[in-house]
Structure 1
Amino acid sequence: MRPLEATLPPSPIDLHAATTVVDGSTVIELSDEHIERIRRGGVTAVNHTVTVPYADTVTALRQVNECRRWIDGHSDSVLLALDVADIARAKAEGREAVILGPQDTEMIGVDLDLLGTFHDLGVRILQLTYQRQNLLGSGCGESSDSGLTHQGRAFVREMNELGVLVDVSHCGERTGLDAMDASGRPVVVTHSFCDALSPHIRAKSDAYLRRLAEQRGVIGITSLSAFLYHPGDPARRPDLARFVEHVSRVGEVAGIDHVAVATDYDETLTEAMRAEQAKAKEFHNLLGDWPWDQRRAVGMDDHSHFANFTAALLDGGFSAEEVGKVLGGNWLRVFAEAWKPGPSMSNPSPRKETSDEKTHPL
């Protein structure tokens, strides 16, 4: 007979410490304070929005360079993640692996050579559009969505060839579905939530989630109050139990292998910057009217509290194995498949339209 302790599930603290934890989308502050928050939260890797949306080429290159120089200057604590082996090394060495993942392609346009340059500089995740229409497709902030353009399809194929993960978080629904059809590798929604629970232009429908699963992709569930809101009680600040409800919904609709964590926290944003952003058309209805100190879900004020995700998922009935997938395992699986350069495999699951597909209005 095995000893009793061998049959007991791991504690939240032990499970969190043993897991390679990944934040699927965040904007990091290039500071010692950020490193300390990450260390206290037990986070191994982050997908960092390294360039601001709508940056021109020169600005984007400068921002990539600034981040890389910061990583170089803090090599005892941070490393640049170019493949999954780098993330494993960061976990083993107690460092943070930073993945460069811009949320826009306007700095590249349709120049495939320039796309290759950004890959050479370390970009491994790239969102096709950010809210508005560009040369590749439509953002979810547009009133109409005609889908991925011919140039957008060529762009996605080149991302597959290079080994850059396709992100469709801020894309319009049709554009995102078209990207899944065009890509021979998994497509991801790095940071979003469920439209069935919290209707929003940034949310994803059940039909969309099912297609994402067919395409082997992953959606990261954010923990921002504006996105996890309760439609029946919109003044009620969401907590991590609400986050778990969104994770559970994806698990029911698409399967536990296709959901993960993505805080969508911008560590560089100030209260004054947020007020100014809210005036811009592209950010209409994105941030909500939450007081500054309530903008994030109860229990997750910053990355130092990341272990609270583990406890909340266990409290929500997920097994230790499932929690490991949500915290990082699902991201690692999709990274391993998408980041391998060379010709992509043919897409085994062409999309079938369903009656509950819809385009989100503003």
Structure 2
Amino acid sequence: MINNCLVIDGCAFVEGDFKGCSSKVADSGLDAFFLTLPKSGEGFTETIKAIGNIYNLTDIEEKKIQVARTLRDIEEGAEAGKRSIILAFQDPHPIENSLDNLRALYELGVRVVQLTYNKANYIGTGCTETIDRGLTDFGARLIEEMNKLGMIVDLSHCSKLTALAAIEASKQPVVFSHACIRSMTESPRNRTDEEIILLAKKGGVIGLSPWGPLCWKKEKGKQPSMDDYLDHVDYAVKLVGIDHVGFGGDCTIDDGEDASGTTEQATLYPAVVGEYNAKVGVHPSVRHAIGFKGAGEVKNVVEAMKVRGYKESDIEKFLGGNFRRVIQSVWK
């Protein structure tokens, strides 16, 4: 915890198998994080194995981690000095076109599902597709089932039409767990004012990401600064209010360098990273805003927000209070 408030990161991942949190993260004040499930791009069976591995690691007391299925789990874990893993999909491939698969994954502890990862699938259109066909009929049924079970709908990598339709379809608040403002940094991964306003009307939260390609100032042509990142925060707060803004680090939780992920992004999604890679580079040291490489450096953001005049209560909402509200509303 930081100042006795929950700190919740909307997006963390690992390269390869999950082995625990780095010491830097352990000392950061982080209480919970949406963990992108390893191996999810490889299908249902491999994802189940990855989930089993995570549960096995929680049995190792010195790692001080647990899987959270309820808000109470997170709160009690924070009191006990444990970081809570919120099992999440960025690529929902293991669900395929089966609501039975969704139910099985819920029972195993999955609590957040991103509907698409850049490309189209059974559920809807991803943000890098040439033609935006929006949400499918199956996608609408999936959202209905997620609402019933108590799973958070995440739209971070969806196309605009998919996101707008999903927000309307959901009876519960939804999230952009890790994205930024499109009018400030043009990227298919960033969200328009229209999407963010509709999200806020439904009680949702956008987790603003310090990942470089999403928050850089293209006219500068260099790695974004903390001020560049906070300009996105300021914009979102002015647009929809502090109650709908959080953070999604989009960073490894174990201090891994994500070399394979950087290569994959460059190969498959040049519309997202091509210009950044060419002008700024691909070295791990320049992949995030200076001073905010994910949860391990969250205290730097707190200090920078204070300099900008944010009140303590506003910072607490940004750090995790707003994600906590969505969790409380959605999870059963």
Distance in 2 between the 1:232 and 1:112 partners? 45
Q: Where do 5+ consecutive residues of structure 2 fail to align?
A: none
Structure 1 position 304, deviation (Å): 2.8
| Partner SS for 1:16 | coil
Correspondence 1:261 to 2:247: yes
- Does the C-alpha gap of structure 1 residues 247 and 124 become closer, same or farther in structure 2, counting only changes over 3 Å? same
Contact 2:7 2:32 in 1 (8 A): yes
Which region of structure 1 is more displaced relative to structure 2, 195-204 or 37-46? 37-46
Greater displacement, 87-96 / 158-167 = 87-96
Q: Which residue of 2 aligns with 1:147?
A: 134
Please give the alpha-carbon distance, in whole angstroms, between the structure 2 residues aligned to 1:263 and 1:275: 16
Candidates 158, 162, 177, aligned match of 1:171: 158
Rounded Cα–Cα distance in structure 2 between residues aligned with 1:322 and 1:41:
19
Name the CA shift for 1:291/1:282 in 2 (closer, same or farther; >3 Å). closer
2:34 corresponding residue in structure 1: 47
Q: Distance in 2 between matches of 1:267 and 1:97?
A: 12
The number of residue pairs the alignment matches comes to 324
Cα distance per residue 1:74-112 (max 9 Å; x no partner): 476111111111111121111101100111222111211
Query: Is the 8 Å Cα contact of residues 37 and 302 (structure 1) preserved in structure 2?
Result: no
Structure 1 residues 113-128: aligned runs within 5 Å: 113-128=100-115
1:25–1:48 CA contact under 8 A, matched in 2 = yes
Alignment of 1:307-322 (within 5 A): 307-322=299-314
SS at match of 2:85: strand
**Equivalent residue number for residue 12 of structure 2:** 26
Residue 52 of structure 1 and its aligned partner are, at CA, apart by: 4.0
SS at match of 2:290: coil
Cα deviation digits, residues 157-195 of structure 1 (max 9, x gap): 000010010001001010011111111001110000001
CA deviations on 1:313-333 (whole Å, 9 max, x unpaired) are 111221111000000000000
From 293, 296, 310, give the equivalent of 1:301.
Answer: 293
Partner amino acid for 2:320?
G
The answer as to whether partners of 2:185 and 2:216 remain within 8 angstroms in 1 is yes
Secondary structure, aligned partner of 1:226: helix
Q: Tell me, what secondary structure is at the counterpart of 2:66?
A: strand
TM-score (norm 1): 0.85
Distance in 2 of aligned mates of 1:271 and 1:36: 18
Q: Deviations over 1:220-267 (max 9, x none)?
A: 0111111111032122x2122222111111111111111101110035
When Rg is computed on C-alpha atoms for both structures, the one with the higher figure is 1
- Give the letter aligned to residue 96 of structure 2: G
Q: Which moved more, 1:92-101 or 1:51-60?
A: 51-60
Alignment partners' CA distance in 2, 1:98 and 1:70 = 11
Distance change (3 Å), C-alpha of 1:283 and 1:85: farther
Q: What's the counterpart of residue 238 of structure 2? A: 252
In the alignment, which of 314, 318, 328 is matched to residue 326 of structure 1?
318
1:75-154 matches, cutoff 5 A = 77-154=64-141
Q: Tell me the equivalent position of 1:345.
A: none
Instruction: Encode CA deviations 1:3-38: one digit per residue, 9 max, x unaligned.
Output: xxxxxxxxxxxx934221111111147345x24222
**% identical equivalent positions:** 28
Unaligned runs of 5+ in 1: 1-14, 341-362
Q: Identify if the C-alpha distance between structure 1 residues 160 and 297 changes in structure 2 by more than 3 Å, giving closer, same or farther.
A: same
Q: Superposed, which structure 2 residues align to 1:282-293 within 5 Å?
A: 282=269, 284-286=271-273, 288-289=276-277, 290-292=281-283, 293=285
Contact 1:16 1:310 in 2 (8 A): no
Q: Which runs of 4+ in 1 moved over 6 A?
A: none
Alignment partner of 1:190 is 2:177: yes
Answer yes or no: is the 8 Å Cα contact 2:167–2:202 preserved in 1: yes
Give the corresponding residue for 1:161. 148
SS at match of 1:98: strand
Is 1:243 the counterpart of 2:229? The answer is yes
Instruction: Call closer, same or farther: CA 1:322–1:65 in 2, change over 3 Å.
Output: same
How far 1:299 moved relative to its partner?
Answer: 0.8
Superposed CA RMSD in Å reads 1.9
Distance 1:95 1:172 in 2: 36
SS in 1 for 2:273: coil
1-structure distance, mates of 2:224, 2:251: 15
Separation of aligned partners in 2, 1:274 and 1:155: 28
Q: Which amino acid counterpart does residue 193 of structure 1 have in structure 2?
A: C
* C-alpha distance after superposition, 1:282-335 (max 9, x if no partner): 464337312412111111235332211111111122111100000000000000
Contact 1:313 1:323 in 2 (8 A): yes
Partners of 2:52 and 2:38 in 1: CA distance:
10
What letter matches 1:206 in structure 2? D
Counterpart contact for 1:53–1:130, Cα < 8 Å: no
Does the 8 Å CA contact 1:100/1:125 hold for their aligned counterparts? yes
Normalised by the size of structure 2, how large is the TM-score? 0.92
AA partner of residue 217 (structure 1): G
Does the Cα contact within 8 Å between 1:132 and 1:282 map onto a contact in 2? no
Query: CA separation in 1, counterparts of 2:39 and 2:6?
Result: 27
